[in-house]
Amino acid sequence: MSWMSNSRPSSDQASRLRQLTRQARPSAVTIAVVSGKGGVGKSSIAANLSICFSARGLATTLVDVDLGLANADLLLGLHARWTLAHVVAGSHTLEDVILDGPGGIRFIPGASGLHDLANLSEFERQNLIMQLQKLENNTDIVVLDCGAGLSKNVTGFALAADRVLVVTTPQPTALTDAYATIKALQRERCHGQLGLFVNMVESRSEARSVYRRVSDVAQKFLNLSVADIGYMVHDTAVELAVQARCPFVIGDPGSNASACIAAVARRIAQTMDSRESRGGFFRRVAGLFV
């Protein structure tokens, strides 16, 4: 039996849902973690960064919004019985789906196979958004693990976020894709703060060099300032953590990778201002898929 019902609710039901979504008064700051290509450690960074935010006393929710190949639950060592697909179908609520994750975070599993929000009916999309808006009233930070690439799903979530972390590695192909991602978001008039996170570097100096290469090109050709979010060194602790299905900041808190990600979380938390939240994140997402 398909998780998506063949019956379509009435337009009156969709209209009532739209009215309900407008009543929310969200306060959470939303951070979208994106990458131009797969294999750069995006999901691992999103998961471990979320745990570090929680360790700093911030109520943190990680949402796997990779609607095609969601897998953040594996990195967290969780078994997702239900996902966002069930929320879309209306068979379960967000409270049913949300999981208690490691390090005190809350986690919402992604809906693998739900390829495009634009393909949902108006009722299904509004129902999903209304459910997700509940997060914004009792969470300090919502971290979004977006899919790789430049699909509308990815850009839609990124364009609506308060901050966007573009993850790359020093490899030329990854740098090219990172710049393409930044260019695409700038072209679509991304209003959030755009920043670069450099992963799998050998040293701080290499990370700084990679950042300058991307930021200089963005400044020259796009007239865009890209923030230096931070970096993470290449560390075998990361690979071992993936195999063990345990976030490295928990499994090996003394590792170099853990020190790097904790430093990034500290800098973001210290510069975070509740006033930067533009409110209604998930409502803005819905508007991008009309």
In a domain, 19, yes or no: no
- Angle at which helices 256-271 and 236-244 cross, to 10°: 90
In a domain, 277, yes or no: no
Q: How many separate domains does the chain show?
A: 1
Bridge partners, residue 142, by sequence: 30, 61
pTM of the predicted structure, to 2 decimals:
0.85
In a domain, 100, yes or no: yes
In a domain, 9, yes or no: no
89: domain CATH number is: 3.40.50.300
In a domain, 165, yes or no: yes
In a domain, 205, yes or no: yes
What 3-state DSSP class applies to 254? Answer: coil
For the chain, the distance separating the N- and C-terminal CA atoms, rounded to the nearest angstrom, is 28
In a domain, 276, yes or no: no
In a domain, 20, yes or no: no
Per residue in 186-216, is it b (16+ CB within 10 Å) or e — as a string?
Answer: eeeebebbbbbbbbbbeeeebbeebbebbbe
Residue 37: the pLDDT is 87
Query: What are the Cα distances from residue 134, in Å, to 127, 128, 145?
Result: 12, 11, 18
pLDDT tens-place values along the chain, 290 residues long? 333 334 444 556 555 545 544 444 447 899 999 998 889 999 999 999 999 999 999 999 999 987 667 789 999 999 988 988 888 777 888 889 999 999 999 999 987 666 555 566 777 767 777 777 777 778 999 999 988 887 776 787 888 889 999 999 999 999 999 999 999 999 988 888 999 999 999 999 999 999 999 999 999 999 999 999 999 999 999 999 999 999 999 999 999 999 999 999 999 999 887 556 666 777 676 665 55
Domain that holds residue 118: 27-271
